[in-house]
Chains A and B, each alone.
Chain A
């Protein structure tokens, strides 16, 4: 059995790399152990991503690619999340700052929230994007809305709305916003996306 704390099982990928499945609630403990234990020393986070399978019975996986530059060793850590339960996992930003934007992207594309992330907002789509989470398998390739509706929604994101409240407070312009723009910004703030009907 793998020495990683919280390890459930381990596999070998087709490229020869070891994959260790870790329980969701012990993820941060496992990652800290992997980074700080001498002999493990995984000081470099290569990537963070998520996978959803076409078979709806299989859970979503959050995949972490770790590397030790000192030992030149790689490891893949996976956390399984059932789609019906809440899609949330702890953030590893406190260990590797490189996880900052990587986790934001996983949130944007899959809707998985990372607890403890300093700034979890959408990164690739605009903050008030209403169609959903694109890389989920229940999201069609061309999106949920018609093309005309997508154009209309896209043109509606006036560039001022692309300033977050934090940025506007720099210019002390937050007070000048009309009420509906301010509410809309608050709604789109910090990872709170309007709920979508379950398909």
Chain B
């Protein structure tokens, strides 16, 4: 918790001046408002979407954490929650939805399939949405429990509260590398899509 304000004593009277850095005050105000009212864009594809719905329902209820309105239009959303596996056919769709979201925007990758491809290390599955969109928080699990998703949301809120409006590096500005829309160099994509563990041996068919 940043030290925002300090009081100053003036000539023996009770402290009646509050001094703070302008930057800190603005950051605190802006970041708290952003963090405590994150409207999610639920990009729900598979099983994680069901746990997402369970988190939205009465027992766990992420409306308590500020996600009161699920924005199904990306133009009105703050955070894109990719809940579920992402096949290659859906890749341009999520990229376009991400591009349609206005700044400031964040991405939560919910579940193992969205984070790394999960159990689906095959021809059809994107091995992690971070090859396509930049991700802020990864929530592991298959599917993650609603408490896990809530923890991920709280982690994102903490991250947002640590951001600064006056950051010299403009967030989320990225240019595609080629006209085909690739944003990561191919070596990086191949590296983060590498098979995990000994699944290299799964080529054997008997």
Contact = CB atoms under 8 A, between A and B. Distances in A.
Contact of A151 (B96, B121, B126, B203): B126
Interface in A110-156: 125-126, 131, 134, 137, 139-143, 146-156
A14 interface: no
Nearest to B88: A154
A131 B122 CA distance: 13
Given A54-B205, A54-B206, A142-B123, A149 B89 contact: no
Interface stretch (B15-23, B76-84, B134-142, B181-189): B181-189
A19 to B, nearest CB: 24
A154 B189 contact: no
Nearest to B194: A147
A155 B122 contact: no
Contacts of A155: 91-92, 95, 132, 180-182
A148 B88 contact: no
Contact of A143 (B91, B122, B180, B203): B122
B190 A125 contact: no
B27 interface: no
Contacts, number: 75
B31 interface: no
A54 B206 CA distance: 9
Interface residues of A, number: 25
B46 interface: no
B93 A151 contact: no
B127 interface: yes
Given A141-B202, A151-B126, A156 B190 contact: no
Contact of A150 (B88, B92, B178): B88
Given A151-B132, A154-B92, A143 B186 contact: no
Interface string B122-166: 111011000110000000000000000000000000000000000
A158 B205 CA distance: 35
B93 A159 contact: yes
Nearest to A54: B205
The 10 closest A-B pairs by CB, nearest first: A143-B123, A148-B186, A147-B193, A154-B88, A148-B189, A155-B181, A154-B91, A152-B180, A156-B180, A148-B190
Interface of A: 54, 125-126, 131, 134, 137, 139-143, 146-159
Given A154-B89, A157-B89, A158-B92, 11 more contacts: A54-B205, A134-B123, A134-B124, A141-B122, A142-B123, A148-B182, A150-B88, A152-B181, A156-B92, A156-B181, A159-B92
22 contacts: A125-B89, A126-B89, A139-B123, A142-B121, A143-B123, A147-B127, A147-B193, A148-B182, A148-B189, A148-B190, A150-B88, A150-B123, A151-B182, A151-B189, A152-B181, A152-B186, A154-B88, A154-B92, A155-B95, A156-B92, A159-B92, A159-B93
